[in-house]
Structure 1
């Protein structure tokens, strides 16, 4: 996936935004990011420019110029990807948008009162250790999760929607393997079924529009008209950070009786 912002490159001088990008990039821990090699010797801390460019979905020349002060007509989607790749806090993301576009980041839909996790549900998630587990809403917003999932998916504090992560962030394609057939295909069909079952849900409609406008593969798969209701029993691959190896996992999907639109997901490693 490559952004349309990549136009002619004009070298500039590093400015506040460029200096911040270097600082944010060099503080990252490569061991916490799937798809980044930790085997080779690193001359500087953090990620390289090439690694950030790859994980953000832009070319190295384009990203290198960005750190040197080159200005472009940045899209919100690119800046959101960059913020997640660099693991920016909410305040830092606001600073990125202000320096890059002179405006605040777009507001996200808030979870409804019905889509909150009760204390007993969090206790159940914690009891699933050593297996990763999470609770998601009908729109695939992750409501709650245990510490094991946080170790497997360090992007959780920065992007809390599983579908948006899978389709709109190139980093996900490094971690969810095989991405197109193993994850993207069943995911997009689940969105179709959820929309049919909840046609008046605004969050689901926005989610569908975001996925189809932001990813060509999502549009291709949507046109094939497949339908899968849930992933229970599926075996898929996940590339783990640190080890940087692919682990097959079986997805165990359940729904709490008090709110059947939610999903209680546990990932069980398999041989």
Structure 2
């Protein structure tokens, strides 16, 4: 089963990952008994246990956990990550083919420079044109939306024209920059390239920095977390918040 067909409620994957990190190795039966003790033949319990099965599958497919003879434990790469959100985001973003569907939605929104979207028709139609082999519908887009919301990439809203805002949370931006900036001061070109390769799409179809990235960088600079400026011999220059910059400095300790 592909990631997109997993019935993910969002924060279930974070809770399950934390449990395996703390108590692993643990078997699937032990996990189910811990989260939903009771008679598994009762419909109220059995329906919840299916969510556990999907969450375990999701974490396996995104390289967060591995199953060994004595149960599940954190994947070596996931165990060394700076945070569960960063680890899951990286695991999702590294997937291609059928399991790369989550990445495809982010790629579409970035390429169209779209920060507002509505999964109930508009985004579904767009994704069926952008990635036609996946079979997009409001159900699997709902799974995607809940997962992105819990990871901090979008915020769910209840407007007439939108169900989500594609603007990354402030704390997630801090963590991302902490992971991609090799030194306190570095070329913006390298930072954007690392972000795009590992965590989140950066570029629009026109080759400019997408709004969700510009908003994040501008917000961090407004709060004096980073300094964006132009220096000589520091790589390509990009427009961020209406000014041309090519250098980023982390001005506080993330």
Normalising by structure 2, report the TM-score.
0.31
Per residue, is there more helix in 1 or in 2? 2
